[in-house]
Structure 1
Amino acid sequence: MILLLFYLFLALFVSFLCSIMESVLLSTPIPFLNVKEENGHKSATTFIKLKNNIDRPLSAILSLNTVAHTIGAAGVGAQATKMFGELYFGIISAILTLLILVFSEIIPKTIGARYWRKLALGSGKIINIMVIITFPLVIMAGYITKLFSRDQNELSVSREEISAMANIGTKEGIFEEKENKIIQNLIRLGTVKVTEIMTPRVVVTVADENMSLEEFLRKKEFLHFSRIPVYSNNIENITGYILRQTVFEKLAEDETNLKLKDICREIVIAHEFQTLLNLWEVLLEKKEHIALIVDEYGGMDGIVTMEDIIETILGIEIVDERDQVIDMQQYARERWNERKAKYKFLYNSE
């Protein structure tokens, strides 16, 4: 009877331990371990090494689990036959199968999948011991798996998975809706083209570089914008941009005869196929706030400002205390529609 209980305990306990370790190993994400490692948990470093070479710990766990099942089942069957005879062998086998299924598969794997946060850090050492115990089997399994698998550098996580995790976090109350919106917008930043958020050419307010500062001041339409592109001869030939603040400073110094080209600044050029992320990096590097978007022929397509990109990330319209108009792009479009209505015949004939 003692041997029967010993083999039963061996089959159930070792298998229970293997199953819970397997579940924790597969359920614990690398980012969670990275956070723990940064907080000084050395056991997290051990677990990360196991995750990065997951074939070895899995081979060790499955090998030990199989050995426990085999020896336990054989031992229980042999002892049960001696004690109760072959007549009850089938019944005992059925009971053992049910016990193994419930107590060494369903329950431990459920526990591991549900409580991996609490079990992860302590599981690394146990799994390492399993790897040492079954080392010959692990090495052999490693050679076998190499025959059927190719070395592929697969991404551990994709943009879509991060997006899905953020959505799940919002549903579970970890993130607020606004935070989730920012995360989703950041993920898309590398795929959204600059043309999707630019202010189109037809509604961009531009100024002639030969215009004097005094003339500039008299045109109220310019006062709505802090940065205004300037052109030479025609709008297709943008030569740079001027700062409204610089105009005011020069006027305060009575330099009214200066022309816009005298205070013109170089403008960043971006092509229509560039992404927002790329343009964002360029603007930060050059410490600029505005970019001219050009088409494949070098003609003006529109403009994008740093504010436009930030608004895209935040998903809101940024307004400061000096803004008289909330949505500048919408304001520009409304002005364009008014101009079309006023000169209806001219625009219909184009």
Structure 2
Amino acid sequence: MAAPGAVHGGEGPVNWLWALVIFLVLFGSLLAIAEASLTRMSRVRALALVEEGRRNAVTLERVEADPPRFLNAIYLAVMFAQNGSAILVAILAEREFGGLGVTLVSVAFTLLYFVLVEAMSKTFGVLHSDRAALAVAPLVWFLGRALAAPTRALIGLANVLLPGKGLKQGPFVSEADLRSMVEVGHEEGSIEREEKELIHSIFEFGDTIVREVMVPRPDIRAIESDKALRDVQAMVLQHGYSRIPVFTDDLDDVLGIVYAKDVLKALHQGKSDMPLREIVREAHFVPESKRVADLLREMQQEKFHIALVTDEYGSLSGLVTLEDLLEELVGEIADEYDTEEPELEQVADDVYRVDGKMAIDEVNEVLDVELPAEEWDTVGGLMLGLMGSIPEEGETVAYRNLLFTAEKVNGRRISKVLIERREEEPEGAEDAEGVNAG
């Protein structure tokens, strides 16, 4: 019987096995670098490297055009390298040291593999993602093509075993993930506050509908079609508008839009008696449920700056301009005709004066409250809904721990609301406690 530690089959095969283990460890390290660098790479960055004329950049761009395909090939190759090297080390340990040696050598090899492959190699891939991704791009491209069939078969099998149809495609990064990254970037100082707010505004822009940003019907400045050009000029000079809706009987019968430049041109040419109808341009109508992102794209393509908004019954409900849409992204754009009056201001401890047209979502964000935004869009609308009638100035209504006071009422509209934060109500109390006269 051979003594423990004796070599079976000669030194040659054993040396080849050790050489194969070293090769698999090095190959695993290379795959780890590829995985780490490619997960940090994007197609936009790859295209930039192509424009810079970097070596292997074209191949890298092809890889980034379909990342899951090539990453799956890397994962499969990693499994072969990791498990193959571990099995060979176990065989060699059993031949050299016996049963106990298998355990000890396997534990030591696992720790060494973690340091060399998982820690060192992946860290290098992260720190030098551009250089590493360019270097391994040809290898990754080869693996993606060579292992395409087995990876596709294995993923198909996994999808059969998993409930449902499995994950065929992204998104692999959700909106919440991107927002969190922006917040972390701001906290670390790599993203400025204005940049952070703009990024959040872009996400919110995609979910906003026209009804939330339009000028409501009572605030629309329009002119009758039988008015003279001088009347239009006077309205332009008074309010500073460059485009004004023209109607016949009422706002539900809009004839079109008159442009200030057309009026001024006609007056300059001495055509002051020209009928207003002759220079009216076609109006664009959009439903109030249209997404503002789609409307902005439509305005860009069809080259118009103003649209009239209709409700589900076809009645005119408001007006929206290009400026209204852009303000959703970059904030308020004030000009010489705008009056600087804050939508929300603190007038005392836990007491705030709010414009009745201010969106409920904005009030919730600024005051850190949870007002219902499903049925009403504005604070004034919320107060009308809670009261069930048009209030007199000074009337109040309570909602949870907030007291609403109609500070200023214009006709049927609440233009200014005082919101007072009170102590928390005990559980079980009604949301709306009632209405009191001021």
Same structural fold, with TM-score higher than 0.5 when normalized by the shorter chain: yes
Deviation at 1:60, TM superposition (A): 2.2
- Residue 242 of structure 1 is matched in structure 2 by 258
1:47 maps to a residue whose letter is L
Distance 1:261 1:301 in 2: 23
1:124 to 134, 137, 145: 137
Deviation at 1:265, TM superposition (A): 1.5
Indicate yes or no: 2:266 matched with 1:256. no
- Residue 233 of structure 1 is matched in structure 2 by 249
Distance 2:411 2:118 in 1: 79
Q: 1:1-350 maps to which residues of 2 (within 5 A)? A: 3=15, 6=19, 9-10=22-23, 12-41=25-54, 43-51=56-64, 52=66, 53-54=69-70, 55-79=72-96, 81=97, 90-128=103-141, 135=146, 139-149=149-159, 150=165, 152-155=168-171, 157-218=173-234, 222-319=238-335, 323-326=336-339, 347=412
- Structure 2 runs not aligned, ≥5 long: 1-10, 160-164, 344-354, 358-379, 381-391, 394-408, 414-438
- Residue 426 of structure 2 is matched in structure 1 by none
1:232 maps to a residue whose letter is T
Secondary structure at the counterpart of residue 190 of structure 1 = helix
- Residues 1:194 and 1:327: Cα distance change in structure 2 (over 3 Å): farther
Contact persistence 1:36–1:44 (CA under 8 A): yes
2:29 maps to a residue whose letter is F
- Residue 389 of structure 2 is matched in structure 1 by none
- Residues 1:221 and 1:139: Cα distance change in structure 2 (over 3 Å): closer
Contact persistence 2:93–2:102 (CA under 8 A): no
- TM-score normalised by the chain length of structure 1: 0.77
- TM-score normalised by the chain length of structure 2: 0.63
Contact persistence 1:199–1:329 (CA under 8 A): no
Residue deviations 1:154-203 (CA, integer Å, cap 9, x gap): 33555555544444444454443333433333343332111111111111
Secondary structure at the counterpart of residue 317 of structure 2 = strand
Residue deviations 1:245-285 (CA, integer Å, cap 9, x gap): 33333333343333432322211111111111222222223
Distance 1:271 1:232 in 2: 21
Higher helix share: 1
1:224 maps to a residue whose letter is G
Using CA pairs below 8 Å that are at least 6 residues apart, which structure has the higher relative contact order?
A: 1
Secondary structure at the counterpart of residue 324 of structure 2 = helix
- Residues 1:65 and 1:92: Cα distance change in structure 2 (over 3 Å): closer
Residue deviations 1:73-132 (CA, integer Å, cap 9, x gap): 4224423x2xxx666554444333322233333332333344433311112234456668
Distance 2:225 2:322 in 1: 23
Distance 1:219 1:18 in 2: 71
Secondary structure at the counterpart of residue 206 of structure 2 = coil
Deviation at 1:211, TM superposition (A): 1.0
1:211 maps to a residue whose letter is K
- Residues 1:15 and 1:248: Cα distance change in structure 2 (over 3 Å): closer
Distance 1:307 1:207 in 2: 21
- Residues 1:167 and 1:197: Cα distance change in structure 2 (over 3 Å): same
Distance 1:219 1:102 in 2: 76
Distance 1:95 1:218 in 2: 89
- Residue 6 of structure 2 is matched in structure 1 by none
Distance 2:274 2:23 in 1: 93
1:188 maps to a residue whose letter is E
Distance 1:276 1:142 in 2: 41
Over the matched positions of the two proteins, sequence identity in percent amounts to 22
Contact persistence 2:229–2:276 (CA under 8 A): yes
Distance 2:83 2:279 in 1: 80
Higher strand share: 2
Secondary structure at the counterpart of residue 189 of structure 1 = helix
Distance 2:79 2:321 in 1: 57
2:316 maps to a residue whose letter is M
Distance 1:115 1:50 in 2: 18
